[in-house]
């Protein structure tokens, strides 16, 4: 017996959730006639929410995520600005360095390393953006500081604003 378009149209709701009409002959035995696709685990590739294991949904990047992570990623102030893109129970946290590196706090404040759910300055690597702009190239006491005149001289602070002297962790104009 052939499936008809009438059955397909009547099944439109199923189509929206990933069950389509395939126009193949029906065996008459609908139970067990099609093998169920295995559900995709957290982080796996998906096309729709139904592809993911229970309690997870298909995120914009086509990976299965918790619904809280999907919510966190959609909140620009939380994710894009602060790097808090991963759902952890009832709150949004920095789930890894990738969350932080893609955020504004990495670009503007060198907070590119995830630590205990927040984005922090964690290494000399994190200081690169502040080095180029402000001469704060040296990682010291969990901060980026201008430790020497050489740090300042390689920065825009020196070339544009004549702030070429390191003093108290920042670059200043030479007042001597």
Instruction: Map tokens 């685990």 to a residue.
Output: 41
Per residue in 102-117, pLDDT (tens digit) is: 999 999 999 999 999 9
Q: How many residues does the chain have?
A: 176
The most confident of the ranges 4-8, 17-21, 58-62, 101-105 is: 101-105
Model confidence over 78-101: pLDDT tens digits?
Answer: 899 999 999 988 899 999 999 999
Q: Where are the domains of the chain?
A: 123-176
Quick one: tokens of 122? 């964690």
Residue 34 is predicted with a pLDDT of 52
Tens of pLDDT, residue by residue over 49-76, are 888 888 899 998 898 999 999 999 988 7
pLDDT tens track for 33-44: 456 677 878 888
Q: Whole-prediction pTM value?
A: 0.68
Q: Which two tokens stand for residue 94?
A: 């920095």
Per-residue pLDDT band at 5 (split at 50, 70, 90):
very low
Q: Which helix (H) or strand (E) holds 66?
A: strand 64-66
Confidence (pLDDT) at 119: 97
pLDDT at 176 over 60: yes
Looking at residue 9, its pLDDT comes to 30
Residue 16 is predicted with a pLDDT of 33
Region 121-143 average pLDDT: 93
Non-local (6+) Cβ contacts of 93 within 8 A are 84, 86, 87, 117, 118
In the chain, which ranges are continuous DSSP H helix?
5-10, 12-16, 67-74, 97-101, 104-109, 128-134, 149-153, 156-161
């Amino acid at each position: 017996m052939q499936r008809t378009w009438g059955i397909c149209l009547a099944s439109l709701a199923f189509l929206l959730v990933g069950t389509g009409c395939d126009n193949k002959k029906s065996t008459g035995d609908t139970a067990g006639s099609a093998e169920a696709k295995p559900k995709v685990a957290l982080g796996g590739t998906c096309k729709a929410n139904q592809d993911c294991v229970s309690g997870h949904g298909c995120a914009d990047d086509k990976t299965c995520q918790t619904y809280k992570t999907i919510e966190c990623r959609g909140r620009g102030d939380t994710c894009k600005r602060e790097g808090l893109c991963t759902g952890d129970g009832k709150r949004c946290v920095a789930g890894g360095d990738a969350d932080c590196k893609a955020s504004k706090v990495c670009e503007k404040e060198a907070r590119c390393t995830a630590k205990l759910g927040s984005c922090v300055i964690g290494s000399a690597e994190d200081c690169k953006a502040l080095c180029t702009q402000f001469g704060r190239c040296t990682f010291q006491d969990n901060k980026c500081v201008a430790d020497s005149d050489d740090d300042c001289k390689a920065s825009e602070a020196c070339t544009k604003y004549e702030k070429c002297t390191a003093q108290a962790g920042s670059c200043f104009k030479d007042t001597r």
